[in-house]
C-alpha cells in the first residue's frame, strides 16, 4: 500500500484493486440512487429513504452477529422495514411520517442490541463505525455481483413502474380512478427504495447513503422539472460526486503527515452538498442566450411555484 505515496496524481489509482471495486460499486450505487431518489423527492419520502438506510443498519449489525455477509442483512432488513412502514402507515402524510418514525425507533433499538451483542462475541468495536459510515475501500469482491444485480433489479422496477409511480405521487385520487392499485404500487416502490438504499448502505454506509439518494435528485429537480431528465441528471451528479470523492479520499493520504486518509463518505457528501448549493446560484451562471432565458421565463409563468425565476 506504500506504492501510491509518490505522486499527487496517485499513479496507482486505477491499478489498485480496492479502488477499482470502489469505482464500480460506487457507480452502480450512484446511478440507482439517483433514479430512485428523483421519485423519492417527488413523493416527499426522504424520511422513509433515510429511515430505510437506518433500518438496514440493523440488518447489517444482525448479519455481522451471525456471520453472514452484511449485504444480505442490509437487504432483508431494508425490505422488511419497507413492508412494515407500509403495513402500519396511514395514507395521510402525517400518519406516514409517524409510522416511519416508529419503525425507525424500533429498528434502532434492535441495532443497539445487535451491536452490543457483537462487541460481546468478538472484540472488534470498530464494527459500529464500519456499519454506519461504510468503508468503500474494503468492499469484498464476492459481494460485487450481488450488488450490481440488485441495483439493476431496482432500476427495472422503477423503469417499469415510473409512469404509474409519478401518477400516484402527483394525484393518488386520479390514479385510483384510473384503476391503478395505489397501495400495491406504493409497496413495489418502497421495495425498490429499500434495495437501492441497502445497496448504498454497503458502499458509503447506512447513515450517509441518504446523501446519494436525496442530494443529486434534489439538485436535479431544481435544474429541471421533467422527471426523465431529472433522473438522468441525478445519476450523473451522483456518479461524478462518487468518482471525485474516491479520488480525493485516495489523494488525502498525503494531506496529513500520519498517512491517514480522510473518509470517502465525507468527500462524497461534501461534493453533493456543494452541488446542491450551486443549484441555488444557477441563474447567473447559465441562460446567457436570449432563447434560454425566454424558455425559462415561459416555464416560470407556467408553474409559479418557482419564485426566483421571474419573467425576464
Among 189, 171, 167, 183, residue whose Cα is nearest residue 37: 189
Q: Cell numbers 433522473 correspond to what residue?
A: 231
- Separation of alpha carbons 224 and 233, rounded Å: 9
Q: Does the protein bind another protein through residue 98 (CB under 8 A)?
A: yes
Q: Rule CB under 8 A: which of 181-210 touch another protein?
A: 205, 207-208, 210
Closest CB to another protein among residues 106, 144:
106
Closest CB to another protein among residues 142, 305:
305
Closest CB to another protein among residues 32, 128:
128
- Separation of alpha carbons 300 and 311, rounded Å: 7
Number of chain residues interacting with another protein (CB under 8 A):
58
Binding mask 271-290 for another protein (x = CB under 8 A): -xx--x--------------
Among 191, 162, 235, residue whose Cα is nearest residue 55: 191
Q: At what angle do helices 264-280 and 182-204 cross, to 10 degrees?
A: 130
Q: Does the protein bind another protein through residue 125 (CB under 8 A)?
A: yes
CA 161 to chain centre: 19
CA distances from 233 to 45, 209, 259 (A): 20, 18, 36
* Given 113, 148, 153, 182, the residue binding another protein (CB under 8 A): 113
Residues that bind another protein (CB under 8 A): 41, 44-47, 49-51, 88, 93-94, 97-98, 100-113, 115-116, 119, 125-129, 132-133, 205, 207-208, 210-211, 213-215, 218, 222, 260, 262-263, 265-266, 268-270, 272-273, 276
Amino acid at each position: 500500500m506504500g506504492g501510491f505515496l509518490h505522486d499527487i496524481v496517485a499513479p496507482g489509482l486505477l491499478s489498485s484493486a480496492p479502488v477499482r471495486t470502489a469505482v464500480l460499486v460506487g457507480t452502480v450505487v450512484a446511478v440507482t440512487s439517483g433514479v430512485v431518489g428523483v421519485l423519492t423527492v417527488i413523493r416527499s419520502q426522504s424520511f422513509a429513504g433515510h429511515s430505510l438506510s437506518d433500518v438496514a443498519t440493523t440488518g447489517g449489525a444482525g448479519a455481522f452477529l451471525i456471520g453472514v455477509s452484511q449485504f444480505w442483512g442490509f437487504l432483508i432488513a431494508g425490505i422488511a422495514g419497507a413492508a412494515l412502514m407500509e403495513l402500519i402507515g396511514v395514507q395521510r402524510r402525517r400518519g406516514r411520517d409517524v409510522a416511519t418514525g416508529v419503525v425507525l425507533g424500533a429498528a434502532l433499538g434492535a441495532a443497539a442490541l445487535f451491536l452490543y451483542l457483537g462487541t460481546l462475541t468478538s472484540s472488534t468495536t470498530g464494527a459500529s463505525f464500519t456499519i454506519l459510515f461504510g468503508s468503500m475501500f474494503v468492499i469484498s469482491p464476492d459481494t460485487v455481483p450481488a450488488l450490481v444485480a440488485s441495483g439493476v433489479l431496482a432500476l427495472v422496477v422503477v423503469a417499469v413502474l415510473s409512469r404509474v409511480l409519478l401518477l400516484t405521487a402527483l394525484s393518488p385520487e386520479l390514479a385510483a380512478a384510473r384503476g391503478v392499485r395505489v397501495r400495491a404500487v406504493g409497496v413495489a416502490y418502497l421495495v425498490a427504495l429499500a434495495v437501492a438504499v441497502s445497496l448504498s448502505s454497503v458502499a458509503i454506509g447506512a447513515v450517509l447513503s441518504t446523501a446519494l439518494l436525496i442530494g443529486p435528485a434534489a439538485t436535479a429537480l431544481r435544474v429541471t422539472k421533467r422527471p426523465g431528465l431529472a433522473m438522468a441528471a441525478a445519476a450523473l451528479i451522483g456518479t461524478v460526486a462518487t468518482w471525485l470523492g474516491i479520488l480525493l479520499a485516495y489523494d488525502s493520504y498525503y494531506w496529513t503527515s500520519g498517512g491517514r486518509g480522510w473518509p470517502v463518505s465525507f468527500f462524497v457528501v461534501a461534493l453533493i452538498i456543494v452541488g446542491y448549493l450551486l443549484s441555488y446560484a444557477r441563474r447567473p451562471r447559465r441562460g446567457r442566450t436570449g432563447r434560454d432565458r425566454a424558455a425559462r421565463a415561459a416555464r416560470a409563468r407556467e408553474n409559479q411555484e418557482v419564485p426566483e425565476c421571474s419573467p425576464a
